[in-house]
Structure 1
């Protein structure tokens, strides 16, 4: 499956995406607010998980590449939340972009395409997103997408160490009805 926007292509993973994904994941600035992928093996396992998620659910994180050049820019997409929390079951949207793609609206453009797929093709009722409180850039993208902060649903991520500054997460939500109005 391929999704195209004005500037971007969102597509499924290929083996030649592994090296640029690992290079991006080795950048401390990119990973500042994300759970670490400290080795090439960890990066490959993350990609393998995305491929499996696509096969099982019909969606996951896609590679984001620049349409004009085919350059690897990162990944964005939807995936099922696989831990127990008061808000699960849920489908989350997320993104991870190389530093070269920052500040150009790439995350917002790619995420809008993923949301359109989720609401229009998958028929989702709601999509959530969460981030560390200090991750203002991701929260800005969430707001640009029309997502609304749900402070009552902020939570401690069960897969993050208790003493980590990434443990606490702020929650944003986007119901189908709000998407329908915002995407007109």
Structure 2
């Protein structure tokens, strides 16, 4: 599985992605909207979770790499998440802080959005995040999503939910 954009390739994770993924997930600044940075075991579990998602659903979070260099810069993809008690298709993304503010997260998220509407039957896609995660909800808005809900939860204190419907997506100029 590969999704190609102007600057990026999204591909399935492999175990060889561990060092670059761990660099990103162990960084306190990158993970400041999570309860804590990931240790080695949590990072290995992340890869295994995605490998299982590929088998179970045909999708998951994919490694995001720069086309020019092949450098791993993050992950982005579609997963099934518990969002306020409902299992929903969620576009998630993490970009290594070395590559922030260059539009890579938005570029990858738009590609995943398009892939999901073209290859699945979902009528609505979601992204959810901790209320303090301005970068994440800015990416959701750049992806054509609108805030539809906020709710209290143990993990994030307050989570924001953004969504885009198939009809809204069809009306976008792409």
CA contact 1:77–1:95 (8 Å) conserved in 2: yes
| Partner Cα distance (2:137, 2:83) in 1 | 23
1:123 aligns with 2:121: yes
1:38 aligns with 2:34: no
- Bigger strand share: 2
| Partner Cα distance (1:13, 1:113) in 2 | 17
Question: How many pairs were matched up?
Answer: 174
Aligned to 2:3: 3
C-alpha displacement at 1:106, in angstroms? 0.1
Aligned to 1:59: 59
Query: Could you state the TM-score of these two structures normalised by the residue count of structure 2?
Result: 0.94
Query: Could you state the TM-score of these two structures normalised by the residue count of structure 1?
Result: 0.89
- Provide Cα deviations, 1:59-88, integer angstroms capped at 9, x if missing partner: 11000000010000010011011x3735x2
Decide which of 81, 91, 98 is 1:93's aligned counterpart. Answer: 91
1:154 aligns with 2:150: yes
| Partner Cα distance (1:84, 1:177) in 2 | 21
| Partner Cα distance (2:116, 2:173) in 1 | 13
Which residues of structure 1 form unaligned runs of 5+? 161-165
SS at match of 1:69: coil
- Provide Cα deviations, 1:71-122, integer angstroms capped at 9, x if missing partner: 00010011011x3735x23101110110111010000000011111100111
1:176 aligns with 2:174: no
Give the aligned CA root-mean-square deviation in angstroms: 1.4
Which residues of structure 2 form unaligned runs of 5+? none
CA contact 1:9–1:67 (8 Å) conserved in 2: yes
Aligned to 1:163: none
1:28 aligns with 2:44: no
- Provide Cα deviations, 1:38-78, integer angstroms capped at 9, x if missing partner: 31011000110011011100111000000010000010011
Pick closer, same or farther for the CA change 1:35–1:51 going to 2, 3 Å. farther
